[in-house]
Amino acid sequence: MGFALVTWQVAADGPLRRLDERVGRGARGQLLPAPLAEFLADLGGLAVALPVLALAVGYAGWRLWRTGARWWWGVPLAGAVAMAAVPAAIAPVKALIDRPAPPGPLAGTDGFYPSGHTATAAVAYGAAALLLRCAAARSRRPARRPSVAVRLALVLLNAGVGLGLVVRGYHWPLDVLGSWCLSGVLLLGLSLLCRRLPHPAPEAERPGPRGGQ
C-alpha cells in the first residue's frame, strides 16, 4: 500500500511529490560531508552488495545442508531469487514513471523512480541477515534471537544509503522511500519461507538411547 501511494503521488505530480522535490533540493549537499555521502551511496551498488549476499547464500546453504534438511537449498535459492527480482521489479516502474533526476551530477536524465541502489542495498543486506538467521535457527544447537544491535545496524545501514543518495543528488527522497516499500515485500516473502522450514530438535531435547536416564 505504501508503494502504491508513493507511486501514485509521483506519477500524478501530487502534493507529496512537490513536497518531496522541495526537501530533495534543500538536502542536496547538506547533512553529510560529500565523501561520506558518496561512500554510503556506493554501498547500494552491485559491486558491494552482491558479494555480501553471495557469501551469505553460500554460508547459509552449507549450514542448512549440514542439518540434513531435505529442502536445505530452498532458502538460499530464494535469497538469490529475491535479489534477481529487484531489477525485474524496478526497471518497468522506472520506464513507466520516467521521473527526471534531481539537480546534480545526473541532471537531464530520466528514470529515477524508484531507486535501484536503495532496493539493492535493502534486499541484499536484509536477505543476508535473514539467511544467516534462518541457518542459525535450524542448526543443531538452540537458536538465539537476533540481537538488537544487528537489527539496528541494518536500519542504520539502509538509512545511510538512502541519505547518501539524496545528499549527493542521485535521487529524490520519494525514490528512496518507494524502493524501501517494494523491498519490504520481497524480504517479507523470504522471511515467510524461512519460517516454513521445520526446526530440528535441540540436542538437549533429543531422546537418548533406550533404557538410558
What's the confidence (pLDDT) of residue 54? 95
Mean predicted confidence (pLDDT) in 178-190: 93
Q: State the virtual CA torsion across 169, 170, 171, 176 in degrees, nearest 10.
A: -120
What's the confidence (pLDDT) of residue 140? 56
User: Which three cell numbers mark 196?
Assistant: 516454513
Give the tens place of pLDDT for each residue, 6-25: 999 999 999 999 999 999 99
CB atoms within 10 A of CB 196: 9
pLDDT at residue 68 above 80? Answer: no
Q: In the structure, what pLDDT confidence band is assigned to residue 204 with cuts at 50, 70 and 90?
A: very low
pLDDT at residue 64 above 80? Answer: yes
pLDDT at residue 145 above 70? Answer: no
What's the confidence (pLDDT) of residue 201? 43
Give the tens place of pLDDT for each residue, 76-121: 898 999 999 999 999 999 999 999 999 888 888 999 999 999 999 9
Q: In the structure, what pLDDT confidence band is assigned to residue 132 with cuts at 50, 70 and 90?
A: confident
Separation of alpha carbons 25 and 167, rounded Å: 9
Q: Kindly report the backbone phi and psi dihedral angles of residue 112, in degrees, each rounded to the nearest multiple of 5, phi listed first.
A: -115, 0
Of 42, 162, 27, residue with least CA distance to 103: 27
DSSP string for 135-183: HHHTSSSPP-PPPHHHHHHHHHHHHHHHHHHHHTTSS-HHHHHHHHHHH
* Domain ranges, ordered by start, for the chain: 2-197
Mean predicted confidence (pLDDT) in 133-145: 66
